[in-house]
Structure 1
Amino acid sequence: MKTSLWLLSLALAACATAPDSTTQAPATASSMPTSTITLARYHWQLRDAVDADNQRLDALFGKTGRPPLQLDFSNGQLSVRHACNAIGGGYRIVDDHLVTTALLQTMMACSDATLMQRESAIKAMLQGRPTLILSLAGDTPLLTLAAAGGRTFTFVGQPTAEAHYDGPGATMFMEVAPQTVPCPHPPLPDRTCLQVRERHYDANGLRAGEPGPWHPLPQDIEGYAHQSGVRNVLRVKRYTLKRPPAGAPSSAYVLDMVVESETVKTPDAKQR
């Protein structure tokens, strides 16, 4: 089975609008400036959701260990992750309200009730011009979206890779082979590495040029969990580490999105 989210990513990029970086009232001890710069520094993960009667919406959380519903803001674009479909569109902040453009999404059908509940709930919230509030709980940034009907979603901020590594990363595409291989000079006995090669795409999302050579990757890709027997093409960000420890890699790789995913029937299937 083979899937692709690349076309949605291109569509969202084409719809990009210039960010509104106007900062609202000065921050107090318990608040943060409401600006697109502040929003873009974090991955916003759903921590709490209540209805108009202050009853928790448990259906949006599901089983323990499931990644929480997540919002990301970048270059005037808003994206939703960990719902049934990937969702995104342009956004602005107008008089402390979050105003989105028409939202685009992939068209998968999900049997998971939690993912379906998340999708319908977050779309209704985003399309309803909710009040947007940024605040601090100690050192933890919080984003609150409050709908006119009384529903309130609270998200906790996790620093983005750009914030963590103090600078922008270089975008590249990396194909991951379905099976791991022995690591060269492994720090741990019996450790295996991902086998990867670089891929190239044109502005229309079509493969371009020849892929690079296969080689073991003796480090992790942050945010990526490999499944044996599955070949993936990933869009990743590569960050140069300013002061890596002695003997450690000089770069960090962070997953941006899975472009292709294909289950390979047998471990001996030839790599293309």
Structure 2
Amino acid sequence: MQTCYSVLLAALLVSPAMAFPNLMGTQWEQVSPQVEGRAPTIAFEPGKMTGFSGCNRFVATTNAEGKTVIAGTRMMCPPPAMRTEAAFLKMLESHPRLMPDGRAQNLKMVAADGAVYQFKRVAGAEPAAPAAKDQAVAGEQYLYVGPERHACSAGAGKMACLQVRRSADGPWENFYSRIEGFDPQPGVSYYIKVRAIPVANPPADASSLRYVLERVVMSEKVERTVTPAN
């Protein structure tokens, strides 16, 4: 049985619904070991896992050779958060045994070195958010932009939102507006300067600001390949 569990994480990355149907589409937050600051999270999605690793966002997939590929932003955080992240990613890279309970409310991951990580299920899908929701005021702004878009709701429609934060250690948030002149590439993180310009008499379902790229301050490829443990 333990041998079977040792390959279930890889199976989830390839086909979560076949491995554990009741984990598909679920989100989890680490409760043990306890950490300083914000706890890591995991979400199971078709063919991948995504989440927050203690400082940065990550996406974990497997390639054609069966290697685990973890893409993530590379922002620096205070030392406790960086230690949390290093331990969490080491656990994921070890192909841990995956042990959900029958009700899909609690989850254990047991790393190759025997370390046990426990998670609780996080309720619910993201609530719908109107496109007119403005997260900032007009003027010049600097934004950290993550390497992947996330599905989000805008009024009655669905879209793929950029993930942004406004400081190196701030929370990631959906960015519902377009940034004129900015063409972000998948797998690349950015630090950019934008100008938010007020829009006169915007439609009820549109933003009251439009965003224009002034310059890309920094960009960085974030993919890295990890060889699975034997």
Q: Distance in 1 between matches of 2:150 and 2:137?
A: 19
Counterpart residue number, 1:76: 47
Task: Give 1:71 deviation, angstroms.
Answer: 0.7
Q: Distance in 2 between matches of 1:120 and 1:127?
A: 11
Q: Distance in 1 between matches of 2:150 and 2:16?
A: 27
Counterpart residue number, 1:85: 56
Counterpart residue number, 2:70: 103
Q: Distance in 1 between matches of 2:160 and 2:122?
A: 15
Task: Give 1:159 deviation, angstroms.
Answer: 3.0
Q: Does 1:21 align with 2:5?
A: no
- Confirm or deny: 8 A CA contact 2:38 2:54 kept in the other structure: no
- Confirm or deny: 8 A CA contact 1:71 1:80 kept in the other structure: yes
Alpha-carbon spacing, 1:252–1:102, altered in 2? closer, same or farther (3 Å): closer
Counterpart residue number, 1:142: 106
Alpha-carbon spacing, 1:100–1:174, altered in 2? closer, same or farther (3 Å): farther
Task: Give secondary structure in 2 for the equivalent of 1:133.
Answer: strand
Alpha-carbon spacing, 1:144–1:123, altered in 2? closer, same or farther (3 Å): same
Q: Distance in 2 between matches of 1:131 and 1:257?
A: 32
Give the 5 Å matches for 1:200-211. none
Q: Does 1:67 align with 2:33?
A: no
Counterpart residue number, 1:179: 137
Task: Give 1:41 deviation, angstroms.
Answer: 3.0
Match of 2:152 among 206, 224, 237: 237
Q: Distance in 2 between matches of 1:121 and 1:39?
A: 23
Q: Distance in 1 between matches of 2:41 and 2:85?
A: 11
Structure with larger Rg: 1
Unaligned stretches of 5+ residues in structure 2:
1-12, 167-191, 199-208, 213-230
Q: Distance in 2 between matches of 1:253 and 1:114?
A: 36
Counterpart residue number, 1:197: none
Counterpart residue number, 1:190: none
Match of 1:121 among 70, 73, 87: 87
Q: Percent identity?
A: 17
Q: Distance in 1 between matches of 2:24 and 2:150?
A: 19
Which portions of structure 1, spanning 4 or more consecutive aligned residues, are displaced by more than 3 angstroms? 172-177, 228-236, 250-257, 259-272
Q: Distance in 2 between matches of 1:254 and 1:72?
A: 18
Task: Give 1:252 deviation, angstroms.
Answer: 9.2
Alpha-carbon spacing, 1:255–1:155, altered in 2? closer, same or farther (3 Å): farther
Q: Distance in 2 between matches of 1:252 and 1:39?
A: 25
Unaligned stretches of 5+ residues in structure 1:
1-16, 24-34, 50-57, 93-98, 181-227, 240-249
- Confirm or deny: 8 A CA contact 2:27 2:42 kept in the other structure: yes
* Matched residue type, 2:80: T
Alpha-carbon spacing, 1:141–1:179, altered in 2? closer, same or farther (3 Å): same
Task: Give 1:271 deviation, angstroms.
Answer: 5.5
Task: Give 1:43 deviation, angstroms.
Answer: 1.3
- Any idea what the Cα deviations from partners look like across 1:237-270, whole Å, max 9, x if unmatched? 228xxxxxxxxxx759999652475677999999
Aligned residues between the structures:
158
Alpha-carbon spacing, 1:158–1:260, altered in 2? closer, same or farther (3 Å): closer
Alpha-carbon spacing, 1:117–1:133, altered in 2? closer, same or farther (3 Å): same
Counterpart residue number, 1:11: none
- Confirm or deny: 8 A CA contact 1:67 1:82 kept in the other structure: no
